Structure 1
Amino acid sequence: MYEAFYRLTGPPFRLTPDPRFLFLSAHHHEALGHLLFGIREGTGFIAVTGEIGTGKTTLLRALLRELDPNTIVAYIFNPVLSDLELLQSINSEFGLPATSASKKELIDELNRFLLAKKVAGARVVVIVDEAQNLAPMVLEQLRLLSNLETETEKLLQIVLVGQPELRAILGRADLAQLNQRITVRWHLDPLDRKETAEYVRHRLRIAGGTPATELFTRRALRLIYRYAGGVPRLINIVAHRALLTGFTKELKTIGAATVRQAIRELRRDDLAPSARRPLLRPAFAAAVVAIAIAVIAAFAIVPLHPHRSLPAPEAMASASPAAADAALPAVAMRATVETAPSTTVNAGAAATPPAAAVAVAPTLGGAPTTAPTPEPPTPVATVTVPPAASPIPDTLDVGAAPQPSAAPAPDVAAFWDTLGATDNRVAALTATDDLLTVWSAEPLSADERKKTSVDLWAIAGKRGLRYLPISGTLERLQLLNLPAILELSVPTSQRRRFAVVTGIDRDHVQLRYGTLAVTLTTDDMAKVWLGEAHVFWRDFLNLSAYMAPGTVGEDVMKLQQMLARIGEYQGSFSSNYDRPTSEAIARFQRSRRLVADGVVGPLTKILLYEATGAFDHPRLGNVT
């Protein structure tokens, strides 16, 4: 929303990995060098650890781009698996038979594959991300896989990447044999102050050229470092908010005062973890503590008036919504287990929920009322994706997902009053239910509502959907053509709240919250949208999570068939992700204004499904 004002070509501080913005500090360069050395030397096990947000995923992406075409990689990013499921996942990533319930059969199949690749002169690597979540028996299974070897060298390289607790897990007595086999270890430290400034300027340079590097003053950069402690993810969050704050005030330069305001907003909204370094100087902090002690002592000496009492909880909440916000847990989007949907697409709408599960939506008057039980949807036949030569049907009519019925459009001010009067957690739950309704999916259960965070990964996976966080512009949302939960700043209070976008055209955007719908101009939308969106989507063909040059398997053939359908691929169909396939993907990505890296991830898959015209799903409608 602030890109045009600051003459940027795109948002420079998005949280999703983008190869264009790759920044490797000296420490990251060393880590990358150690990883490449370990893989090329065939050393067996490699372990990389780092705090949340220090750039482990960025490092892995850089590693994948540096590996030569003769290196075949299986990337396991969901390690909450049993030892059997891990073997099945590894075989599936390599395009091998993976349905057997016999570990011996799975390992024998993998061993034959490794021997064949060894003869062909290829290296085979398994990368396990978030490895601190692996159970001890699964780690032991990985150790046993490292026994697959010839007389002279290992057939399989295994890279474990995780948070610092991974080091403690590997140090357990019962995992001593595995720990002894780790020959390369590296811990990623946060950026130092100089690197933090270089990191911010680097991202601004990519997004806007050399002049953009002077947007932040030196004092502002020092303050960002003190708040974020050199953690790239926190740097992105606070820098993005500072630019947004500067844009609303029409400031051409971001100074320390603007960064301080951004930090206050982040702490109020619980958008970011606690900073590693205090913003208060030690002497000032000590003074604050001394004053606090004096105040407490004064209250201990002076008794409270015997006839005064605290207001009832309801009165307190209504009198001080800001205080209510402060007491709320963070609405976190946690990356947990992503359940893969089966190849049978259940096109029917969800069954009518029980009355107890119906969402409670706020009304314009502020008092909660129980939403009416929706009418049972018309059953639609289940559609099975055929395992034929082409898995793409000519048409896949699963029925247009019904839009939730809405009351007559409220006054825009009343819409914001309602959203602002609702606490952050209720707004997140209501918006999630709205998005599930658009997908004709089962509403949130009572157990899901009780959890301390709104886990969109798990919510989507339970319903055969996938979840993808998006940072970008309205044009990006239009390109995806999917309804989404948007993070909004309520104009009257600047509180972060959530609503679902159901329609976009050139001049207008339609939002929905519970039973309310409102239409905004795109200019007004730019003032309130924080640039973050949360999308549900369906992986109709259940393709591998990521595909890149070197990937093998049936999913590659499905990918080639989709590319051929839209005229991007003229080669023969095979199970190898070869150069023609990579070039076809890169052409398609360029045509959709994505980074043309030839790697198939969620964004590329969503746009491919849309481009074929064979798969039906809820879409963004025109604003009426």
Structure 2
Amino acid sequence: MYEPFYGLSERPFSITPNPRFVYLSQRHRDALAHLLYGVGQGGSGGFVQLTGEVGTGKTTLCRVVLEQVPENTRIALILNPMLSPAELLRAVCHELEISIEGTDGSLQQLQERLNTYLLERHAEGERVVLIIDEAQNMSREGLEQIRLLTNLETATDKLLQIILIGQPELREVLSRPELRQLAQRITARYHLDPLNEDETEAYIRHRLQIAGAERCPFTDDGLRAIYLSSEGVPRLVNIIADRALMAGYAREEERIGAGLVRAAAREVAGEEQEQDGGWLRGVIAALALLVVLAGGGALSWLMLQPRESAPQGGNPAWEAMLEDAGAQAAWVEMAALWPGMDAAEVDRACRGEIVEGLACLQLRGNWSFVREIDLPVILRLADPADTYVLLAGLSEGDALLRHGGQDWRVPRSQLDRRWRGDLLVAWPDTGVVLKRGDSGALVERMKRLAAESTPQPWTGGVDATYDEPFRDWVVAFQRRHGLNEDGVIGPATRLFLRAPHGDAPILLTENDGA
């Protein structure tokens, strides 16, 4: 929208990783060196650990590493490590194209196949590297399993190099006494800090130049305001700069100063606008409305109608409610939604244990992601720390939280300050894993659900055979939903195929009687 006005050929601040826009500060180059150390001979079979705050560029660095892998190196990349030990080994075998046909899926047989493969690669003079992103989400059992993988060795060499990439919580996880054996095997550690002020300015100018800008539309004060508002986190830099450019275009201002940037930052944070920035919300809303009207759409706002949650005067009652919202209460609320579900079992499943007939996934996403799941979820809030509360409904402006059997309407702009995207979803599930070559009524049901999926449904036959074309469709489906692309239908893939949704409680909307 604003590209021609500022002489740009494309949007410079998209948050989607694009190798063309990669900017390597000194700290990013140091982090990259550690990752390449792990991929090369330097790792010596131990672990390499890279941590950093959300949005600092860890995944982008991982992509850069994959583009620089030596020819004699095989890489297994695990993007969703919230797996059981057996699922983790299956995912590693899939990434390395190791056939597991003829096995019973047990840990012992999977590890034997992997060990045989690693010995063959070692005999050919090749290295094998396992990279695990978002490693802070791994269960203790999963971490212990990858530690055991480092025991695969010859008389002189380790057969597998492992790189763990995660948020700062990963350091806390690995400091636990029960994981000390794994921590002792870490041969290199690096923590990726946000950019400093000079690096932030260089980062912004670099992306603008790649997008075709002949000059920087931000004033010096505007650049400094972006740094102060984002604290040097590249993802926030992108979001704030993009919003400021849109606002500048709406006001036809060729130069964007600190006032516009601060207003854009407040808009991003969901804060109430001050008088000098109150126009921005209206401008963005007007632009959005124009886009909708141009496409022939109609904007519909969903309104929730729970009982009143704010007392007369003082802080809203929901704030006091959150002070009392712990994990156990959230398990109770989740279990109450599903017939026969027990809160204690939800607790165990959501803490990483295998519970027969029940699945629980720990995920990260935004409000659109929650709508896509279309089931009540448990939000883990950062403020108050370690608060867990059930999200029962969602509208354009409000969230419906359920605690103690009562519904509380909370403005999403207020909740955004407390929620960083961490969520859990639990539902009844058999735990069965379907793969190519399987057959039966459950496969037929998955194909039927796939045929109803949008926007790219399965168009093949709806029969009881899990054939190669259906596996290819499943891989593409998993890619679209950010799942592990293994072509295997487990609980996570069934969730996004809407397998649990037949008689399930769904997010409340106006039509649902919220």
TM-score by length of 1: 0.48
Query: 1 CA distance for matches of 2:312 and 2:210?
Result: 58
Q: Does 1:182 align with 2:240?
A: no
Partner of residue 493, structure 2:
none
Query: 1 CA distance for matches of 2:131 and 2:461?
Result: 40
Query: 2 CA distance for matches of 1:179 and 1:234?
Result: 32
Query: 2 CA distance for matches of 1:7 and 1:62?
Result: 28
> Percent of counterpart pairs with the same letter?
44
In the TM superposition, what are the counterparts of 1:185-264 in structure 2 within 5 Å? 185-209=189-213, 211-212=214-215, 214-264=216-266
1:88 Cα deviation from its structure 2 partner: 1.2
Gaps of 5+ in 1: 271-307, 314-320, 353-379, 394-438, 455-512, 516-624
1:97 Cα deviation from its structure 2 partner: 2.7
Partner of residue 449, structure 1:
507
- SS of the residue 2:40 aligns to: helix
Query: 1 CA distance for matches of 2:312 and 2:471?
Result: 69
Partner of residue 88, structure 2:
86
Query: 2 CA distance for matches of 1:117 and 1:77?
Result: 23
Q: Does 1:22 align with 2:35?
A: no
Query: 2 CA distance for matches of 1:388 and 1:231?
Result: 43
Query: 2 CA distance for matches of 1:208 and 1:444?
Result: 50
Picking from 124, 128, 134, the partner of 2:132 is 128
> Which amino acid is the alignment partner of residue 244 of structure 1?
M
Partner of residue 64, structure 1:
66
Q: Does 1:9 align with 2:9?
A: yes
Higher alpha-carbon Rg: 1
Query: 2 CA distance for matches of 1:86 and 1:239?
Result: 39
Query: 2 CA distance for matches of 1:215 and 1:20?
Result: 21
In the TM superposition, what are the counterparts of 1:88-487 in structure 2 within 5 Å? 88-98=90-100, 100-209=104-213, 211-212=214-215, 214-268=216-270, 324=411, 326-329=413-416, 344=443, 346=446, 348=448, 382-383=462-463, 387=467, 449=507
1:64 Cα deviation from its structure 2 partner: 1.0
RMSD: 3.7
Cα deviation code 1:251-278 (max 9, x no counterpart): 11211111022112122279xxxxxxxx
In the TM superposition, what are the counterparts of 1:568-607 in structure 2 within 5 Å? none
1:136 Cα deviation from its structure 2 partner: 1.5
> Which amino acid is the alignment partner of residue 207 of structure 1?
A
Query: 1 CA distance for matches of 2:187 and 2:312?
Result: 65
Cα deviation code 1:3-57 (max 9, x no counterpart): 1222212111111111111111101101111221233124221111111111100
Query: 2 CA distance for matches of 1:60 and 1:140?
Result: 23
Residue pair 1:385, 1:391 contacting (<8 A) in 2 also: no
1:75 Cα deviation from its structure 2 partner: 0.5
Query: 2 CA distance for matches of 1:269 and 1:163?
Result: 26
Query: 1 CA distance for matches of 2:210 and 2:168?
Result: 31
More off after superposition, 62-71 vs 153-162: 62-71
Query: 2 CA distance for matches of 1:253 and 1:126?
Result: 47
Cα deviation code 1:593-617 (max 9, x no counterpart): xxxxxxxxxxxxxxxxxxxxxxxxx
- SS of the residue 1:158 aligns to: strand
Alignment coverage as a number of residue pairs: 333
- SS of the residue 1:208 aligns to: coil
Residue pair 2:270, 2:416 contacting (<8 A) in 1 also: no
- SS of the residue 1:149 aligns to: coil
Query: 1 CA distance for matches of 2:2 and 2:503?
Result: 38
Residue pair 1:146, 1:156 contacting (<8 A) in 2 also: yes
Residue pair 1:350, 1:442 contacting (<8 A) in 2 also: no
The alpha-carbon distance between structure 1 residues 187 and 445, as it changes in their structure 2 partners (threshold 3 A), is farther
The alpha-carbon distance between structure 1 residues 13 and 93, as it changes in their structure 2 partners (threshold 3 A), is same
Partner of residue 31, structure 1:
31
> Which amino acid is the alignment partner of residue 131 of structure 1?
A
> Which amino acid is the alignment partner of residue 56 of structure 1?
K
Partner of residue 338, structure 2:
none
Partner of residue 562, structure 1:
none
The alpha-carbon distance between structure 1 residues 390 and 68, as it changes in their structure 2 partners (threshold 3 A), is same
The alpha-carbon distance between structure 1 residues 349 and 179, as it changes in their structure 2 partners (threshold 3 A), is closer
1:240 Cα deviation from its structure 2 partner: 0.7
Gaps of 5+ in 2: 273-310, 317-396, 399-409, 426-430, 437-442, 453-459, 474-496
Query: 2 CA distance for matches of 1:333 and 1:309?
Result: 31
1:309 Cα deviation from its structure 2 partner: 6.4
Partner of residue 401, structure 2:
none
The alpha-carbon distance between structure 1 residues 175 and 336, as it changes in their structure 2 partners (threshold 3 A), is same
Query: 1 CA distance for matches of 2:499 and 2:271?
Result: 29
